[in-house]
Amino acid sequence: MNETPTPTFRVDLSGQVALVTGASQGLGRSIAIELARSGAKVACVARTESKLAETVAAITAAGGTAEAFACDVKQREGVDKLVDSLAENWGRLDILVNNAGVTRDGLLPRMPDDDWDLVIDTNLRGAFLFSRAASRIMMRARYGRIINITSVAGIIGNPGQTNYSASKAGLIGFTRSLSRELAGRKVTINAVAPGFIESDMTRVLGPIVIEEAKKRIPAKRLGTPEEIAAAVLFLASSAASYITGTVLVVDGGMTG
pLDDT tens-digit readout, 211-241: 888 888 999 999 999 999 999 999 999 999 9
Check 128, 130, 164, 234 and give the catalytic one: 164
Could you give the CA distance from residue 61 to residue 56 in angstroms, rounded to a whole number? 8
Residue 185 DSSP SS3: helix
pLDDT 10s digits, 47-106: 999 999 999 999 999 999 999 999 999 999 999 999 999 999 999 999 999 999 999 999
* Bridge partners, 19 (sequence order): 43, 96
pLDDT 10s digits, 97-145: 999 999 999 999 999 999 999 999 999 999 999 999 999 999 999 999 9
pLDDT of residue 99: 98
pLDDT of residue 6: 64
pLDDT of residue 23: 97
- Find the DSSP H helices in the chain: 26-37, 53-61, 76-90, 113-120, 126-141, 153-156, 162-182, 200-203, 207-215, 225-236
Please return the burial class of 230, using the count of CB atoms within 10 Å of its CB with bins 0-12, 13-18 and 19+.
buried
Name the superfamily (CATH) of residues 17-249.
NAD(P)-binding Rossmann-like Domain (3.40.50.720)
pLDDT 10s digits, 184-198: 999 999 999 999 998
pLDDT of residue 2: 46
243 has a pLDDT exceeding 80: yes
119-157 exposure pattern, b = at least 16 Cβ within 10 A, e = fewer: bbbbbbbbbbbbbebbbebbbeeebbbbbbbbbbbbbee
* Bridge partners, 187 (sequence order): 144
Q: How confident is the model at residue 5 (pLDDT cuts 50, 70, 90)?
A: low
Could you give the CA distance from residue 251 to residue 166 in angstroms, rounded to a whole number? 19
Q: Dihedral of the CA atoms 61, 67, 73, 78 (nearest 10)?
A: 170
pLDDT of residue 107: 97
Q: How confident is the model at residue 203 (pLDDT cuts 50, 70, 90)?
A: confident
pLDDT of residue 256: 78
9 has a pLDDT exceeding 80: no
Give the predicted TM-score (pTM) of the model: 0.94
* Strand arrangement, sheet containing 41-46: 65-70, 41-46, 17-21, 95-98, 144-149, 187-194, 247-250
Q: Which residue, 169, 167, 176, 132, is CA-closest to 154? A: 169
Distance between alpha carbon 209 and the CA centroid of its chain, in Å? 25
Q: Which residue, 66, 89, 72, is CA-closest to 137? A: 89
1 has a pLDDT exceeding 60: no
pLDDT of residue 190: 98
164 catalytic residue (yes or no): yes
